[in-house]
Structure 1
Amino acid sequence: MRFHRIDSDQGAGSDSKPLLQSVMHHFDVDFNDQRNSGMAKCPLHDDNTPSFSYKLDEGLWNCHSCSNGGDSFTLIEKYHDMQLDKAIDFKQAKAYAKQHGLEEGAVAKETGYTSRYGGGRKAAGKKPGQKPGGGYVPAWKRK
């Protein structure tokens, strides 16, 4: 599956999005914001034990009970859908974040693009004059 950038006419505009910790504070999630990762009670459903894991440095969350996860916009969308019974889309979630003054910014790991097959390492850049496919020639084709 190929991913593409959302253009400004589709609702993205700028690359900034609300920080996950500001969205979690807004929805009264009890968590330790001094740590980059941890567990908390899920704001999407009644929870007695912490099942909501978060990684603030990556801006991602996952609930192991209700099988939901994503970034800060996804948390806003899911909260409205599951707690307020009002489904909203990306544009409305972005407007909600701006309306409520949620702190925006890029998280540390989002500043550079990474390869999803390289275990989170940066994708190798192309060298000038390099052949398509990296220039590798298998042994059976070499002379």
Structure 2
Amino acid sequence: MSIAEIIESLEKASGPSRYLDKDIHIIVGLAEPGAENYGPYLYRKMACPRYTESVDAAIALCEAALPGAKISLFVNHLTSAKDESGARATVHRKKGPKCPYTGIRWPACQGECFHSKTAPLAICIALLKAKEAEDERIKERRIAA
């Protein structure tokens, strides 16, 4: 599966999925070499954290896949006619401007904020979008060099 296909599956998901956990584990490079070629038996037996179920696992994934990245997470438990309950997450690398009063840097929300039914799903979507963008930047630099 490509990053785009996994993102699409995550956006459609309404809850945790062990298959998506394994696909994410492979695509970010945390699985053992050759895992992307596993057959159904070995694929089912592959051990990986529950990224789509646990906020802690999703955050640990961000730290492993994009060292130094920042995560902004907003969880909405209220429902209304316009907005479903769920979570929004952003994963970004750059720091924002300094607050003139405290001198603390605000997080720079580069790009979109990604919405999903659960916080772990939102974090996984935001991470994969950030990873996809970073891979594109690396590819552009190689072409330019």
More helix by share: 2
Q: Which has the higher contact order (CA 8 A, sep 6+)?
A: 2
Shorter chain as denominator, the TM-score bin is: under 0.3
TM-score, normalising length: structure 1: 0.28
TM-score, normalising length: structure 2: 0.28
